[in-house]
Amino acid sequence: MLFHRSGLLILVVLVAGLLLSCGVEEVHHHDCLRQSESELRPTDPSDPSGYEGAETDTLISPEGYVRVWWATEGPHQPPTRDSNDSGIPDYVELTAQIADEVAALLEYEGWRLPLTAAPEEPLDLFLVNFTAGDGNFRTDNCYLDEGTPVCSGHLRIENDFQPLYYPTQEYALRVVISHEFFHAVQYAYHAEMPPWWAEGGATWFQEYFWEEQQDFERLTDFYFDEHERSLHDRQRGAFDAYAYGAAIFVYFLEQQIGAEGIQRIHQRMAENIDVIEAIDEILTDEFAPLQESFPLFAVWNLFTGERAIEGQGYPDGERFAEISQVELDADQAINWNVGVDPLAVQYARVDATRDVAIKAEPIDGHTPFDIYAVAPAEFEESGVYHHITAGADQAVTFEADAFPIYLVAVNADVDDLRSVQIQLRRAAADDVQDDETPQEIADTDGASGCTTAGQSPATPLLILLTLLAIAALPVRPARRNSPPPLLR
């Protein structure tokens, strides 16, 4: 499901008092990949968000991939304009056309198509008026396929996108249909994907299908804003949008192993292989193990926004938000005691007017991890950055004219919080001068004092502020307006 900000503003008003007075219970289901226990469809009179008995019509898409349902009366009726006098509303025809384009691309590249009630049946797509959100995938029937849970289902897509928070209705349909259709594909591989991979993958596919949109870039902001949080963290409440931001990691995977590699990860998941294990396996086969790839991902995330470097990191890296970092003045000695959650990153910008030696030392009682030091000019020229091994005798030295540099404290472990002391000292002929009293900076508890299991839930006030922030996010205009070709 994609966030529709008018609905979020309404939800802020409705739930603010409850959040502030009663606290927030953890939500264990994934709203955007919702399974309807009663297997209702909008045409069922008992569906509370359905057509409520209104007359309906249907259209099989030109290529036969989907069957579009719409109400011909009432609040769920789409715009009635029929410019070609076909007897079918333009909005319905456009919906069918875009769904065909999405399905054709997926079929052309060898992906499984969504499961339907019967073989050769088109996927049902219902146009409905959402009070919040603008689309979702609903399951109809779930079962085991050679031991793997899979589900058939149907799509629900906004019937008119009014008020319009996208540049055009066509823009909105391309974004939302591609996102929700990919969810239906995911359920054909495995019905129990973790939210970060499910939403991250569907958001990535928006970009893969139609790169002219910028909803993908907007949603990756959620990762850049919380890079110190575990990539595979569980969803922290119904309005936690972090999982959408994980699309930047899927996009990183595409740059290393291609869309074919991402498809192979799904194929391994269809064999009941854990997603992290599947990612590590395919990365190892085609690029480098996750333990080595994740630090590169962390370094790439430095060079976005105004720090983007052509030819290094992401294509058109200026599209993405910039990460935040600790500011360290290495004209004095510093001990930065930093803890990082699993598959998470902390950053520091280091300024100095003198030569500085950098070491990483284990902290008693903590499992250490290695760090990386990046001088932007050096990285721009050759893509080189420095690996600093925890406990190594030799320091890595940077001359004064190399600053500012960036420290990347990246924990590539999947399970455990790890900590290290990063030492910044005046460099000298004998490597490090120890005649200064270091400033101690302590941050050994990770992003929130919790691991992937998420033992420390967000406070009600924080959730309320998050709702307001999401509601206020701007939608970036399209870079180009030409639609992609239909592939067969």
**C-alpha span between 364 and 337 (Å, rounded):** 11
Let me know whether 330 and 275 are in one domain. no
Q: Are 59 and 68 in contact (CB under 8 A)?
A: yes
Closest CA to 358 of 374, 377, 376: 374
Closest CA to 278 of 287, 288, 286, 267: 267
User: DSSP states of 145-191 as a string?
Assistant: ETTEEEEEEEEEEESS-SS--SS-HHHHHHHHHHHHHHHHHHHHH-T
Model pLDDT, residue 444: 62
Model pLDDT, residue 132: 86
Residues in a beta bridge with 60 = 67
H or E segment and range at residue 28: none
Query: Quick check: is 137 in a domain?
Result: yes
Let me know whether 342 and 276 are in one domain. no
Residues in a beta bridge with 424 = 334, 358
Model pLDDT, residue 5: 39
- Tokens 């399905």 belong to 103
Q: Are 67 and 59 in contact (CB under 8 A)?
A: yes
Let me know whether 337 and 266 are in one domain. no
Let me know whether 233 and 334 are in one domain. no
Tens place of pLDDT for every residue, the chain, 488 residues? 554 434 444 343 333 333 333 332 222 223 344 444 447 999 999 999 999 999 999 999 999 999 999 999 999 999 999 999 999 999 999 999 999 999 999 999 999 999 998 888 999 999 999 998 899 999 999 999 999 999 999 999 999 999 999 999 999 999 999 999 999 999 999 999 999 999 999 999 999 999 999 999 999 999 999 999 999 999 888 789 999 999 999 999 999 999 999 999 999 999 999 999 999 999 999 999 999 999 999 999 999 999 999 999 999 999 999 999 999 999 999 999 999 999 999 999 999 999 999 999 999 999 999 999 999 999 999 999 999 999 999 999 999 999 999 999 999 999 999 999 999 999 985 555 566 789 999 876 665 443 333 333 444 444 444 444 444 443 332 322 233 333 32
Query: Quick check: is 357 in a domain?
Result: yes
Let me know whether 271 and 348 are in one domain. no
User: DSSP states of 43-72 as a string?
Assistant: TSTT-TTS-TT--EEEEE-TTSSEEEEEES
Model pLDDT, residue 42: 96
Residue-range definition of the domain harbouring residue 411: 326-443
Let me know whether 377 and 274 are in one domain. no
Query: Quick check: is 308 in a domain?
Result: no
Q: What are phi and psi of 15, to 5 degrees?
A: -105, -5
Q: Which amino acid is at 153?
A: G
Query: Quick check: is 307 in a domain?
Result: no
Reply yes or no: is the peptide bond before residue 163 cis, omega within 30 of 0.
Answer: yes
Query: What CATH number is associated with residue 55?
Result: 1.10.390.10
- Tokens 């997926």 belong to 106
From 286, 314, 340, give the residue that closes a domain.
Answer: 286
Q: What are phi and psi of 19, to 5 degrees?
A: -60, -45
Closest CA to 336 of 202, 443, 189: 443
Let me know whether 261 and 353 are in one domain. no
From 234, 268, 286, give the residue that closes a domain.
Answer: 286
**How many domains are there within the chain?**
2
Model pLDDT, residue 118: 86
Contacts of 446 (CB under 8 A, 6+ apart): 228, 339, 340, 341, 344, 417
| Tokens at 208, concatenated | 């893969």
The two beta strands, 123-128 and 148-158, are: parallel
Query: Quick check: is 476 in a domain?
Result: no
Closest CA to 388 of 366, 404, 363, 408: 408
Query: Quick check: is 294 in a domain?
Result: no
Q: What are phi and psi of 138, to 5 degrees?
A: -115, 135
Let me know whether 248 and 337 are in one domain. no
User: DSSP states of 365-417 as a string?
Assistant: TS----EEEE-HHHHHHH---EEE-TT-SSPEEE-GGG-SEEEEEEE--SS--
The two beta strands, 371-374 and 405-411, are: antiparallel
Let me know whether 276 and 367 are in one domain. no
Q: In whole angstroms, how large is the CA radius of gyration of the chain?
A: 25
Let me know whether 36 and 86 are in one domain. yes
**C-alpha span between 96 and 92 (Å, rounded):** 6
Query: Quick check: is 457 in a domain?
Result: no
**C-alpha span between 259 and 80 (Å, rounded):** 38
> What are the angstrom distances between the C-alpha of 14 and each of 17, 50, 193, 347?
7, 22, 30, 37
Let me know whether 120 and 184 are in one domain. yes
Query: Quick check: is 232 in a domain?
Result: yes
| Tokens at 406, concatenated | 């960036």
- Tokens 């990919």 belong to 182
247 class by beta-carbon count within 10 Å (0-12 exposed, 13-18 middle, 19+ buried): buried
| Tokens at 219, concatenated | 């949603």
User: DSSP states of 324-360 as a string?
Assistant: P-EEEETTS-EEEEEEE-TTEEEEEEEE-SS-EEEEE
pTM higher than 0.95: no
Let me know whether 261 and 155 are in one domain. yes
Query: What CATH number is associated with residue 372?
Result: 2.60.120.380
Which of the 8 DSSP states describes residue 38? T
* Coil vs helix vs strand at 127: strand
